[in-house]
Amino acid sequence: MKHRHAHRKRPRRSGFAQEVFWLLVQAVIAGVVALLVTALIVTILIRTGAVIPGDTEGNLPRFADPEWASRINFNSGSILLFILLFLLLVLLAIVRYVLRMKWEVNRIVMVCRLLRNGESATHMEESQISEFQEIRDSVIQMDQELVASIARQNQIEQERKYQISMLAHDINTPITIIQGNSELLEMTPLSREQQEYNAEIQKAADTLYHYSREIILYSKSEDPVPLAKREVSIHEIVDTLTKMCSGVFAFKSIEHSIEYHEIGPDATVSVHLTLLARALFNAVDNACEHVSDGGRVTIAVGVEDQYVRFQVIDNGPGFSEQGLAQGAQLFYREFGREGRERHYGMGLAFASRVCEHHGGRLRIENSPVEGGVVTFLIES
């Protein structure tokens, strides 16, 4: 028993060269048809007596009506008729060719629109021109490969974030044990040298603890889930930030100030307060690390285009050229600057993520006077 397999019938395809060849063939056919039609019309006119045929004495064909004969040369009229018929038929062939090309292009455009909207285009009718079919198949294949690549990349990214988050959580267990044992050692008689060793242990454990916290916080900032934003007073954001920074300012006797530019007392912005305050704190903490004791840090708030602008300005040495280019990259650390032992290379990277989640961006630059400037642009 024979089984019939349902296959879509593939259209017979031709290339552009064949299409042009057939267009030329149609032009030749149009010339022949125009010539035959002209001859037929002339024959009909002669048989009806409207035209007197030429003779052997050298008289050319002419209209029987003297008025028509005086106005129109019959031979010239016949040639003109042939040319008009030929041009009309060629024009029709060209219009047909153009409409067919337009139809093929529109099908390619439709395939692109379907793919752009995330829909499948495999059901679209195949082209009868091989070049257009190759374009269609290539576009569909590229889209399928891109979708598969993005899916693989997302899976790898999710796995990476999960591994980083789990690693950071797992680090906390030995850190807690180290801190607990170190505190127990403090309760026992220790020599001065042992106390110094124990202090170094506690300092290293504290560094690891903060490092793991920064990793967890950055991992959360990469979460694609939309942030739960709410309308918050800009003055409340600044007040929250200054409270968070009070200990940092006091530690190095930092002189700090708040400046408002074109910001009214009732001005609000839609933000995730906890994340934004933490991001701003990272910038302030970074600024305090890079100024000397008794330095100055300014928090300036203003408006820039459609954004609310938060700026952290310090009077330190400013950013290096590499720092300006890579300061917001994850794990970037600018060595040779003060405070690098507490700098994990995640603060400004986290701040940049928070700005992106709020429809804005982070800008790192140097002040034309002195020091560095970190600008947060938050969509208003």
Mean residue pLDDT across the chain: 80
Give a yes or no: residue 316 inside a domain.
Answer: yes
CATH of the domain at 174: 1.10.287
Residues 6+ apart with CB under 8 A from 108: 127, 132, 135, 136, 139
pLDDT greater than 90 at residue 312? yes
| Residues shown for the chain | 380
- Looking at the structure, tell me whether residues 108 and 164 fall in a common domain: no
Give a yes or no: residue 195 inside a domain.
Answer: yes
pLDDT greater than 70 at residue 88? yes
Give a yes or no: residue 81 inside a domain.
Answer: yes
Considering its fold, how many domains does the chain have in total? 3
Of the candidates 74, 100, 128, which is a domain's last residue?
128
Q: How far apart are CA 361 and CA 282, in angstroms?
A: 15
DSSP 210-233: HHHHHHHHHHHHT--SPP--EEEE
- Looking at the structure, tell me whether residues 234 and 216 fall in a common domain: no
- Looking at the structure, tell me whether residues 173 and 121 fall in a common domain: no
- Looking at the structure, tell me whether residues 108 and 153 fall in a common domain: no
Is-contact 267 303, C-beta < 8 A?
no
The pLDDT assigned to 4 comes to 45
Q: How far apart are CA 185 and CA 198, in angstroms?
A: 8
Of the candidates 221, 245, 268, which is a domain's last residue?
221
| pLDDT tens per residue, range 350-379 | 889 889 889 999 999 999 888 999 999 999
- Looking at the structure, tell me whether residues 152 and 74 fall in a common domain: no
The neighbouring-strand residues paired with 233 are: 268
Give the residue numbers spanning the domain of 284.
230-379
| pLDDT tens per residue, range 30-78 | 888 888 888 888 888 878 877 777 666 666 677 777 777 777 777 788 8
The neighbouring-strand residues paired with 255 are: 296
- Looking at the structure, tell me whether residues 20 and 61 fall in a common domain: yes
- Looking at the structure, tell me whether residues 39 and 101 fall in a common domain: yes
Residues 6+ apart with CB under 8 A from 371: 291, 313, 314, 315, 316, 317, 318
- Looking at the structure, tell me whether residues 283 and 213 fall in a common domain: no
- Looking at the structure, tell me whether residues 282 and 214 fall in a common domain: no
| pLDDT tens per residue, range 189-227 | 888 888 888 888 887 787 777 767 766 666 666 655 566
Region for 126 from its dihedrals, namely left if φ exceeds 0, alpha if ψ lies in -120 to 50, beta otherwise? beta
Q: What is the mean pLDDT of residues 175-193?
A: 85
Give a yes or no: residue 8 inside a domain.
Answer: no
Is-contact 175 209, C-beta < 8 A?
yes
The neighbouring-strand residues paired with 307 are: 304, 379
CATH of the domain at 367: 3.30.565.10
Instruction: Give the residue, 118 or 336, on which the prediction is more confident.
Output: 118
Give a yes or no: residue 69 inside a domain.
Answer: yes
pLDDT greater than 90 at residue 270? yes
Give a yes or no: residue 4 inside a domain.
Answer: no
- Looking at the structure, tell me whether residues 252 and 369 fall in a common domain: yes
- Looking at the structure, tell me whether residues 257 and 117 fall in a common domain: no
- Looking at the structure, tell me whether residues 312 and 210 fall in a common domain: no
Give the count of alpha carbons within 13 A of 259, CB side only.
Answer: 13
Give a yes or no: residue 6 inside a domain.
Answer: no
Give a yes or no: residue 7 inside a domain.
Answer: no
CA distances from 114 to 118, 120, 124, 135, 140 (A): 6, 6, 10, 15, 10
Of the candidates 128, 158, 192, which is a domain's last residue?
128
Handedness of CA 59, 62, 65, 69 (dihedral sign): negative
